């Protein structure tokens, strides 16, 4: 916590309210320190509820005009934004890299995914068409998807560019106005999105960004001027936000934590499986809600496991592997490994003492870590959100599925096998929302929607795709009869 007058790369950041920077007079400021090299990047406000009230008022003011435009007109702004983002992919990726430590290649992949999500929102005029039917003789019923009003989106650190694109393009093209609360680890990444949308022609007040900590999240959940809240982050906070929001009769969809299980069968292709599994648990240094966390090895998988260790050694923190978002997260992940080791688990590859490359000594890094542990032990059950693959053993597919399905979470799951029968049984029995066969990170691409099961989500529906139309709109059903000659029938 501090205010700094020193010159930093991104300076003293402000909120973005009603199309203008807004700086709360009394608020404390926090420093954003880059996990890449430990440099101070910026300060940002820890806003209070006065800033939230201002943002909601700006969004309420913008709503009548924005919602009165046709959906095609609203989508036009996002066509322009798509062009702008395409030209600025690299600079957006660089901000993300600086702020939360994702390596540049992965940050580029993330901004490219934001483009794909924007593409979907641009197609909403084709997707969000209501049904029409002659329901009685001479009586037509049609439905309209209407915006809710002011809505909110609360986003996590690990996909600070993509997750806002899960929510804001769809919600806004559908006619809502929005308040967005970015993660404390990536405020500049999100403020840049708002600036580019303004440049694309989004009217003032349609998107407002309020930086801050826990207080703002609770205040969003409780604010009487906000109609619906989407949250993405850890399950503990997701449940709190869901409860506070729905207690007040609002809509909420809250995506939570994960501990994804991959099942490795003895007939899996060793080289392909190893490359996919290593990339899955090491991408973004394991800080992905779809990362491989637990590898359930069925029978003799020694050749593939040896290859996973070899593949993992190719990932070098600070070179081709991301940083850990902050020292607290690093200490928490290392704590999981320490406790597992004390508990008798075997550390097959140890990333705790990794040395960052020259010039990045103050950065925050952990190397690839592989642990063989007992099913049911802490490291195999709890989300550690780091570059750690925990291997547990099973005798057969039935036992492996029972281990995977005992997880309270159900975000993703994959099987590695060359047997169609095993793949079919896995897809049928695994209790997870996003499932893969020989795919390390089974994230569905647009137009398929994103969403897990069990404790990985609170609320109904998925966050993207057609499901988003239901979440961000209310449906009006209109029955009309124009021809007086038609007979009077039931409900006519
Ligand atoms: P987080 O829960 O700490 O933070 C998410 C948001 O909530 C942030 O904006 C943060 O400022 C706020 N917040 C944090 N603690 C709070 C509290 N006590 N009270 C009120 N607000 C609070 O999550 P994170 O560390 O930013 O992200 C990592 C977590 O998010 C992991 O658990 C990961 O699995 C999960 N995640 C899930 C998905 C998914 O699709 N299911 C996607 C990305 C991340």
Number of domains in the chain: 2
Residues 224 and 348 in one domain: no
Pick the atom of ligand 1 nearest to 463's CA: 40
Q: For ligand 1, say whether the CB of 411 is within 6 Å of any of its atoms.
A: yes
Identify the band that residue 490 occupies on the pLDDT scale cut at 50, 70 and 90: low
Residues 201 and 299 in one domain: no
Neighbours of 381 (CB within 10 A): 17
CATH number at residue 237: 3.40.605.10
**Does 26 have pLDDT greater than 90?**
no
Does the residue 95 lie in any domain? yes
Does the residue 217 lie in any domain? yes
Which whole number is the average pLDDT over 61-84? 98
Neighbours of 446 (CB within 10 A): 16
Pick the atom of ligand 1 nearest to 235's CA: 32
C-alpha 324 – ligand 1 centre gap (Å): 15
Average pLDDT, the chain: 96
Alpha carbon of residue 33 to chain centroid: 22
Q: For ligand 1, say whether the CB of 156 is within 6 Å of any of its atoms.
A: yes
Question: Among 164, 234, 432, which is best to mutate for testing ligand 1, by the most ligand atoms less than 8 A from CB?
Answer: 234
Residue numbers of the domain that contains 329: 260-437
pLDDT > 90 in the chain, percent: 94
Residues 180 and 218 in one domain: yes
Report the phi/psi class of residue 227: left, alpha or beta, with left for phi > 0 and alpha for psi in -120 to 50. Answer: alpha
Q: For ligand 1, say whether the CB of 211 is within 6 Å of any of its atoms.
A: no
Q: Which two tokens stand for residue 323?
A: 């940083």
C-alpha 373 – ligand 1 centre gap (Å): 27
Buried b (16+ CB within 10 A) or exposed e, 188-205: bbbbbbbebbbebebbeb
Identify the band that residue 24 occupies on the pLDDT scale cut at 50, 70 and 90: confident
**Does 2 have pLDDT greater than 60?**
no
Task: Give the DSSP letter string of 86-114.
Answer: HHTHHHHHHHHHHHH---HHHHHHHHHHH
Which protein residue has the closest C-alpha to ligand 1 atom 23? 233
C-alpha 255 – ligand 1 centre gap (Å): 9
CB 209 within 8 A of CB 194: yes
**CA-CA-CA-CA dihedral for 44, 111, 129, 131, to nearest 10:** -100
Q: Is the pTM of this model over 0.85?
A: yes
Residue bearing the bigger pLDDT, 91 or 485: 91
Dist CA 61 CA 33 (whole Å)? 35
Question: Among 157, 164, 237, which is best to mutate for testing ligand 1, by the most ligand atoms less than 8 A from CB?
Answer: 237
Tens digits of per-residue pLDDT, 268-286? 999 999 999 999 999 999 9
Q: For ligand 1, say whether the CB of 34 is within 6 Å of any of its atoms.
A: no
Neighbours of 236 (CB within 10 A): 11
Least confident of 52-56, 267-271, 443-447: 443-447
In the chain, what is the straight-line distance between the N-terminal and C-terminal CA atoms, in Å? 66
CB 92 within 8 A of CB 192: yes
Does the residue 451 lie in any domain? no
Report the phi/psi class of residue 249: left, alpha or beta, with left for phi > 0 and alpha for psi in -120 to 50. Answer: left
Residues 211 and 278 in one domain: no
C-alpha 381 – ligand 1 centre gap (Å): 19
Dist CA 269 CA 274 (whole Å)? 8
Bridge partners of residue 477, in order along the sequence: 143
Give the SS3 label for residue 63. helix
Residues 412 and 312 in one domain: yes
Q: For ligand 1, say whether the CB of 464 is within 6 Å of any of its atoms.
A: no
> In 3D, which of 171, 136, 125, 128 has the Cα closest to residue 152?
171
Residues 229 and 302 in one domain: no
Which protein residue has the closest C-alpha to ligand 1 atom 36? 233
Residues 150 and 176 in one domain: yes
Dist CA 145 CA 71 (whole Å)? 10
Q: For ligand 1, say whether the CB of 239 is within 6 Å of any of its atoms.
A: no
Does the residue 37 lie in any domain? yes
Does the residue 6 lie in any domain? no
CB 96 within 8 A of CB 186: yes
Residues 58 and 94 in one domain: yes
Q: Is the dihedral of CA 262, 266, 269, 274 positive or negative?
A: positive
Tens digits of per-residue pLDDT, 229-283? 999 999 999 999 999 999 999 999 999 999 999 999 999 999 999 999 999 999 9
Identify the band that residue 1 occupies on the pLDDT scale cut at 50, 70 and 90: very low
Phi, psi of 74 (to 5 degrees): -65, -40
Dist CA 457 CA 434 (whole Å)? 12
Pick the atom of ligand 1 nearest to 213's CA: 11
Q: For ligand 1, say whether the CB of 472 is within 6 Å of any of its atoms.
A: no
Quickly tell me which residue has 């547990």 as its tokens: 392
**Does 448 have pLDDT greater than 90?**
yes
Tens digits of per-residue pLDDT, 198-239? 999 999 999 999 999 999 999 999 999 999 999 999 999 999
**Does 35 have pLDDT greater than 80?**
yes
Residues 235 and 280 in one domain: no
CATH number at residue 307: 3.40.309.10
Which protein residue has the closest C-alpha to ligand 1 atom 26? 156
Which whole number is the average pLDDT over 389-418? 98
Tens digits of per-residue pLDDT, 286-344? 999 999 999 999 999 999 999 999 999 999 999 999 999 999 999 999 999 999 999 99
C-alpha 237 – ligand 1 centre gap (Å): 7
pLDDT for the residue 18: 98
Q: Which two tokens stand for residue 10?
A: 């991104």
Residues 129 and 209 in one domain: yes
CB 286 within 8 A of CB 312: no
Which residues are marked as active site?
Answer: 289
Residues 39 and 167 in one domain: yes
Residues 244 and 271 in one domain: no
Which whole number is the average pLDDT over 170-190? 98
Q: For ligand 1, say whether the CB of 62 is within 6 Å of any of its atoms.
A: no
Q: What angle do CA 213, 40, 105 make, to 5 degrees?
A: 90
Q: For ligand 1, say whether the CB of 452 is within 6 Å of any of its atoms.
A: yes
Dist CA 403 CA 424 (whole Å)? 18
């Amino acid at each position: 916590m501090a205010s700094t007058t020193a010159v930093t790369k991104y300076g003293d950041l402000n909120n973005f309210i009603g199309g203008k920077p807004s700086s709360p007079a009394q608020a404390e400021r926090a420093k954003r320190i880059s996990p890449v090299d430990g440099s101070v990047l910026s300060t940002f406000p820890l806003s209070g509820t006065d800033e939230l009230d201002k943002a909601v008022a700006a969004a309420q003011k913008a709503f009548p005009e924005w919602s009165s435009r046709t959906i095609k007109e609203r989508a036009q702004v996002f066509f322009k934004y798509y062009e702008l983002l395409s030209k600025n992919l690299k600079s957006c990726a660089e901000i993300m890299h600086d702020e939360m430590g994702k390596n540049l290649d992965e940050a580029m992949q993330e901004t490219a995914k934001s483009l794909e999500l924007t593409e979907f929102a641009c197609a909403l005029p084709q997707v969000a068409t209501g049904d029409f039917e002659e329901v009685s003789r001479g009586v037509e019923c049609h439905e309209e998807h209407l915006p809710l009003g002011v809505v909110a989106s609360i986003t996590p650190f690990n996909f600070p560019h993509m997750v806002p694109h899960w929510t804001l393009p769809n919600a806004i093209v559908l006619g809502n106005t929005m308040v967005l609360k970015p993660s404390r680890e990536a405020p500049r990444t999100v403020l840049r999105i708002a600036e580019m949308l303004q440049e694309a022609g989004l009217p003032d007040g349609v998107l407002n960004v309020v930086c801050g900590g826990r207080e703002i999240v609770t205040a969003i959940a409780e604010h009487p001027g906000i109609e619906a809240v989407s949250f993405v982050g850890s399950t503990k906070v997701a449940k709190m936000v869901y409860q506070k929001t729905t207690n007040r009769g609002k809509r909420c969809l809250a995506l939570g934590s994960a501990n994804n299980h991959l099942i490795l069968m003895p007939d899996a292709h060793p080289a392909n499986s190893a490359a996919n599994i290593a990339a899955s648990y090491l991408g973004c240094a394991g800080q992905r809600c779809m990362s491989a966390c637990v590898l359930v090895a069925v029978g003799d998988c020694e050749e593939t496991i040896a290859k996973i260790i070899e593949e993992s050694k190719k990932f070098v923190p600070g070179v081709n592997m991301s940083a850990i978002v902050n020292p607290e997260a690093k200490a928490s992940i290392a704590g999981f490994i320490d406790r597992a080791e004390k508990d008798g688990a075997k550390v097959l590859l140890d990333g705790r003492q990794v040395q960052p490359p020259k010039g990045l000594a103050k950065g925050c890094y952990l190397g690839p870590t592989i642990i063989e542990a007992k099913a049911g032990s802490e490291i195999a059950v709890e989300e550690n959100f780091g570059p750690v693959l925990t291997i547990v053993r099973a005798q057969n597919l039935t036992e492996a599925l029972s281990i995977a399905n005992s997880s309270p979470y159900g975000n993703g799951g994959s099987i590695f096998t060359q047997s169609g029968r095993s793949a079919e049984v896995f897809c049928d029995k695994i209790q997870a929302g996003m499932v893969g066969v020989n795919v390390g990170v089974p994230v569905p691409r647009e137009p398929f929607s994103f969403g897990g099961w069990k404790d990985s989500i609170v609320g109904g529906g998925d966050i993207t795709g057609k499901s988003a139309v239901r979440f961000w709109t209310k449906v009006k059903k209109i029955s009309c009869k124009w021809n007086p000659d038609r007979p009077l029938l039931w409900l006519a």
